Structure 1
Amino acid sequence: METDRDHPNRQVSSHMAGIVERNIKALLARRQQEKARKILSDKLADTVTDFAGSLRFVWIHILLFGGWIAWNLGWLGLKPFDPSLVVLAMAASVEAIFLSTFVLISQNRMAALADKRADLDLQVSLLAEHEITRLVTLVTEIAKKMDIPAAHDPEIAELAKDVRPENVLDTMERHERDSL
């Protein structure tokens, strides 16, 4: 009998794969919407940050700063225009100020996006926990009706209780305080 493992490039046409495909498309569409909604300053900050984080940026600076230093140390046989390299240091400092600002703008926006994704993840996890709790209750009742001994396991009763996220956070904070 052939399986999907025998043909790894074959499209899997199961119900789960369709749901996964739908979710991927929805997430990609959402990213495109967020990208389209970015304001000009965010686009500029991202462009500058992307460029500043590239090897092209590094090579340009190696060439520019190296050439500046070589020229002003007299290694190229040209008359120095910044023999103490003070102008170079000032230019590099101003550039660093602006680059760090652009990086912070991009990081702040990415942190806000990460927070939104974490909130979504939490909501999905809470929904899944609620659904699993309901399933445990349902399966336990079915097991009791069928007189299956495992239905009387005390751990199952504990799992059938709804978990309140605020209680979990309070417990985590209490344990954290107690461990200090």
Structure 2
Amino acid sequence: MDTTPTNTQSHHPAVLAQAAQRAADLQIRIADAITSYAGSMPFVYIHIVVFAVWMTFLESKPWPTLTLVVSLEAIFLSTFVMIGQNRQAAFQQAKADHDFNQQELELKTNTEITRQIHSLTKDLHKRLAEESRS
């Protein structure tokens, strides 16, 4: 299998496989979208504005409800982080497996080439020894 990057394939096969798997599963696409948005600065800015408005204008004593909301949000966001970490671990394992298989194939090929070179060298030495005797 040729892993040389070409115009049609510029990523590692494990990356392409993971992208295809993620594109095929609606739940994964939703988790990716939430994780991507939650890790952005607009997410932070919106929270700053919402919490500031809530604490300043909407409730006179926002702390119990605010604590509940923030705790629930932290639970869900940490779950999305763990989902992402699990996917990353699976990706790293797939990449490591692919790389191992490629290295094993290369090792076998190099070993066979080395054996052929050794055999040709022995034949060459044998012929040269025979010619020098004649």
Specify if TM > 0.5.
Answer: yes
Identity across matched positions, percent: 31
Match of 1:61 among 36, 43, 47: 47
Structure (1/2) with the larger helix percentage: 2
Q: How does 1:134-173 map to 2 (within 5 A)?
A: 134-147=112-125
Q: Which fold has the larger relative contact order, with Cα–Cα distance below 8 Å and residues 6 or more apart in sequence?
A: 2
Q: SS state of the match for residue 33, structure 1?
A: helix
- Deviation of the 1:95 alpha carbon: 0.2
What are structure 2's unaligned runs of at least 5 residues? 126-134
Map of 1:35 onto structure 2: 22
Q: Structure 1 residues 112 and 30, CA, compared in 2 at 3 Å: closer, same or farther? A: closer
Q: How does 1:1-180 map to 2 (within 5 A)?
A: 20-21=5-6, 24=9, 27=13, 30=17, 33-38=20-25, 40-69=26-55, 71=56, 78=57, 81-83=59-61, 85-147=63-125
Classify 1:124/1:143 alpha carbon distance in 2 versus 1 (closer, same or farther; 3 Å).
Answer: same
For each residue in 1:33-72, what CA deviation from the matched residue of structure 2 results, as whole angstroms up to 9, or x when unmatched? 323322x222221111111111111111222223334x0x
Q: Is the 8 A contact 2:37 2:43 kept in 1?
A: yes
Amino acid at match of 2:5: V
* Count, aligned residues: 121
**TM-score normalised by length of structure 1:** 0.56
TM-score of the superposed pair, with normalisation by structure 2: 0.73
Between the aligned partners of 1:103 and 1:110, the Cα distance in structure 2 is: 10
Structure 1 residue 100, shift from structure 2 partner = 0.9
> What is the SS of the residue equivalent to 2:59?
coil
